[in-house]
Amino acid sequence: MATPLLSVRDLVVEFPTRRGTLRALDHVSFDIAEGEVLGMVGESGAGKSLTGAAIIGLLEPPGRIAGGEIWLRGERIDNLPPEKMRRVRGRRIGMVFQDPLTSLNPLYTVAQQLIETIRTHVDVSEKEARKRAVGLLDRVGIPAAARRIDDYPHHFSGGMRQRVVIALALAAEPELVIADEPTTALDVSVQAQIIDVLKEICAERGASVMLITHDMGVIAETADRVAVLYAGRMAEIGPVRDVIQAAEHPYTVGLMGSIPTLTQTADRLTQIPGAMPRLNAIPQGCAFNPRCKEVFNRCLVERPELIARGGKRHVACWLYEPMKEAFDV
Amino acid sequence: MSDVLLSVEGLTRRFDVSKPFLNRVFEREERQFLTAAADVDFEIRKGETFALVGESGSGKSTIAKMIVGLLEPSEGEIRFDGKVMDFASGAAMRALRRRFQMIFQDPFASLNPRWRVGDIIAEPIRTFGLMRGAAIGREVGRLLDLVGLSASDAEKFPHEFSGGQRQRIAIARALSSRPEFIVCDEPTSALDVSVQAQILNLMRDLQDEFGLTYLLISHDLSVVRHMSNRIGVLYLGRLVEVAEAKKLFLDPQHPYTRMLLDAVPDLALSGRRRVPVEGEIPNPINPPPGCAFHPRCPHVMDVCRRTIPDPRETDSGTAACHLLTGQPVKAAV
């Protein structure tokens, strides 16, 4: 297989505090292939956004990468000096954040922001950059783009603003787009439009996408593979269809059961008892063991690694330990 | 019908969003009004869950606030248990207020951070003078037990709890005045899915146990589908369709309902190609004339641009659309 576009190996992110070091990401590993859409799900505090922030080198201090490696197309990027990292960010990795109002500068017109971004990363004239900017806005579905480009962000509605942000993220033709809850602030009818635009335009340009969201529905319709995070650890990763229709990790099973759907007829939702542990109280062994229905002794003492389950799927759960090793214990 | 607990007729609320007087004089502008709810009619029967869905700006929360008496309607009336709510009379409102309660969206904002949980839950009991002395403490313990917390949690402060646990506290507070009717304004939108499931299950159990009636307000169609018996769909302050929950999802009558259902991401991976939704909700200050949905409607006709459609009867409820041919609900004037 060709080298993956992005490869994250044993990523550890820590927050040193007065009362000890909190480990927010604990040995997280995954790859994103060329042109692939990887969904990243989990509850709040599971470390989804942190993974995105670590990749683009925008961890809020005191958070820091305490271990592991991040490779972008064979080049290691987690230890680049800030100046070099800045060139990777925007040029090679584009970003779309949750709230479009905070990712746009209210004091500059959309044209100024787009042209600045394009000219920072690509060596073109002002005129050429403007032409590209109009083309981009047109592509993300902003009507009368040539005229509206000179408007300020507040002239646009929420959905239109998020389109502008997508245009901005794609301005330098990045290889990877990290979209962190791109539709959470939007209404359902607009949400679908934005997801479609993001998916189409990335497919068109061959950009890979890391889609961070808590909305399984969005993942189901958009992603090729999905990674499930729990308490800073990878619980399960695999093709969307497998994970959604036949989840294997007890946490994913519970998560899927707890989502009400438009077609189900069950009277009660399956619920996972309790809540995700705080970072300073992650239990020994498997982090999910206090809430797990299938918990057994080994879960309480030993942390499960991702176990290959065939067909590109990996699950971090002792239930799926290959037989011969289970007998050794 | 005798089993109707709450009925709302012609409910309208306008907000004055005009610029200050001098600006209006100099800029030669008219006064501007935002109609957050226009001519809304519905009934909620005892023991059922009625849901209002709609996108932001559709008037869901405005209607909820009028029903619990936090906002006065500009026009129309609300009948609770047969009696018209009289906003002018403080005493009448106070007597009614014990019988309905509200659960809010954000459990971080709806609980006073300086009060102990026990005091938060006991406040409605004390305010309405339902109990005295040690009985209050016992009642608080019982309520905490009921919502899945422990009686000893009464001594703690809200910050010691997670989002889901706080929403449980809010539910315990809502139950403490022994209401018959609870308005739930986006009760789970601030919570994670696994916690959301816990809260929704709890709400259902309590409904079965105490025969509560819910008005559920949500933008999440899957939650609404799971929880409610009947659903009202709002668009720009107007009720476009009311139907039994199951039928609404199988056979939506109004084009807006259809569009909304289509837009929900599909977890079943059926691979259906959704019809792309055009446009966004227009500005409610200057809504389009005629049917407010006509600029986005795939079936728009000439008449839609001129007249506001009246609700008509459908198989499962009512819907307001010129395409429909059922009997008008109101006799033609």
**Out of A27-41, B23-37, B220-234, least confident range:** B23-37
Residues of chain B in contact with residue A214, where contact means CB-CB under 8 angstroms, are 192-193
**B72 is a domain residue:** yes
**B332 is a domain residue:** no
Q: Which residues are B197's β-sheet partners?
A: none
Whether the per-residue pLDDT at B272 is higher than 70: the answer is no
Distance from CA of B199 to the nearest CA of A (A): 9
> For residue range B139-151, what is the model confidence (pLDDT) as tens digits?
999 999 999 999 9
Distance from CA of A193 to the nearest CA of B (A): 7
Residues of chain B in contact with residue A270, where contact means CB-CB under 8 angstroms, are 197
Percent of chain B at pLDDT > 90 equals 41
B277: contact with A, CB 8 A cutoff: yes
Residues of chain B in contact with residue A221, where contact means CB-CB under 8 angstroms, are 265-266
Name which of A191, A257, A260 is nearest B222 (Cβ-Cβ).
Answer: A260
Could you tell me the pLDDT band of residue B1, with boundaries at 50, 70 and 90? very low
Distance from CA of A127 to the nearest CA of B (A): 30
pLDDT (mean) for B37-53: 92
Name which of B194, B198, B263 is nearest A189 (Cβ-Cβ).
Answer: B263
String of b and e for A58-96 (b: at least 16 CB within 10 Å)?
ebeeebebbebebbbeeeebbebeeeebeebbbbbbbbb
**Out of A28-32, B205-209, B289-293, least confident range:** B289-293
The per-residue pLDDT of chain B, averaged, comes to 87
CB B162 within 8 Å of CB B123: no
A252 compared with B283, residue with greater pLDDT? A252
Q: CA B198, B204, B205, B207 torsion: positive or negative?
A: positive
Q: How many CB pairs under 8 A join A and B?
A: 119
CB contact under 8 A, A189 and B260: yes
HSE-CB at A123 with a 13 A cutoff on CA atoms is 0
Among residues B100, B99, B121, B125, the alpha carbon closest in space to that of B110 is found at B121
Whether the per-residue pLDDT at A5 is higher than 90: the answer is yes
| pLDDT of the residue at A323 | 60
| pLDDT of the residue at B95 | 83
Residue ranges making up the domain that contains B189: 4-319
Whether the per-residue pLDDT at B206 is higher than 90: the answer is yes
Residue in B with minimal Cα distance to A216: B267
Structure tokens at A260: 């009400």
**B32 is a domain residue:** yes
**B25 is a domain residue:** yes
Residues of chain A in contact with residue B193, where contact means CB-CB under 8 angstroms, are 43, 214, 216, 255, 258-259
Best of B106, B168, B224, B226 to disrupt the A interface (most A CBs within 10 Å) is B226
Residues of chain B in contact with residue A275, where contact means CB-CB under 8 angstroms, are 162, 164-165, 194-195
**B53 is a domain residue:** yes
| pLDDT of the residue at B333 | 42
Whether the per-residue pLDDT at A324 is higher than 70: the answer is no
pLDDT (mean) for B161-173: 91
Range from A2-6, B182-186, B264-268, B280-284 that averages highest in pLDDT? B182-186
Residue in B with minimal Cα distance to A160: B280
A154: contact with B, CB 8 A cutoff: no
Distance from CA of B55 to the nearest CA of A (A): 6
CB B24 within 8 Å of CB B31: yes
- DSSP 8-state symbol, B331: P
| pLDDT of the residue at B276 | 62
Q: Give the span between the Cα atoms of B178 and B121, in whole angstroms.
A: 12
CB A250 within 8 Å of CB A317: yes
The DSSP element (H or E) to which B234 belongs, if any, is strand B230-235
| pLDDT of the residue at B330 | 65
| pLDDT of the residue at B221 | 86
Residues of chain A in contact with residue B192, where contact means CB-CB under 8 angstroms, are 43-44, 214, 276
The per-residue pLDDT of chain A, averaged, comes to 88
Full DSSP string of B67-119: HTTSS--SEEEEEETTEEP-TT-HHHHHHHHTTEEEE-S-TTTSS-TTS-HHH
Angle at B67 between CA B81 and CA B320, to 5 degrees: 95
B332 compared with A322, residue with greater pLDDT? A322
| pLDDT of the residue at B269 | 60
CB contact under 8 A, B269 and A244: yes
CB contact under 8 A, A268 and B221: no
Residue with tokens 């490779």: A71
Residue with tokens 């438009």: A262
A315 compared with B2, residue with greater pLDDT? A315
CB contact under 8 A, B265 and A195: yes
| pLDDT of the residue at A66 | 92
Could you tell me the pLDDT band of residue B332, with boundaries at 50, 70 and 90? very low
**B325 is a domain residue:** no
Beta strands in chain A (DSSP E): 6-17, 20-32, 37-41, 64-72, 75-76, 93-96, 176-180, 208-212, 225-230, 233-239, 307-308, 314-315
pLDDT (mean) for B317-330: 84
For residue B144, what is the domain's CATH number?
3.40.50.300
> For residue range A172-202, what is the model confidence (pLDDT) as tens digits?
889 999 999 888 878 877 888 888 888 888 8
pLDDT (mean) for A153-180: 90
- Count: domains in chain B: 1
Residues of chain A in contact with residue B164, where contact means CB-CB under 8 angstroms, are 275
**Out of A8-17, B24-33, B170-179, least confident range:** B24-33
**B333 is a domain residue:** no
Whether the per-residue pLDDT at B315 is higher than 90: the answer is no
A155 compared with B285, residue with greater pLDDT? A155
pLDDT (mean) for B16-41: 86
| pLDDT of the residue at A76 | 92
| pLDDT of the residue at B270 | 60
> For residue range B129-139, what is the model confidence (pLDDT) as tens digits?
888 889 999 99
Best of A221, A228, A279 to disrupt the B interface (most B CBs within 10 Å) is A221
CB contact under 8 A, B264 and A188: yes
Q: Give the span between the Cα atoms of B261 and B271, in whole angstroms.
A: 15
Whether the per-residue pLDDT at B281 is higher than 80: the answer is no
**B78 is a domain residue:** yes
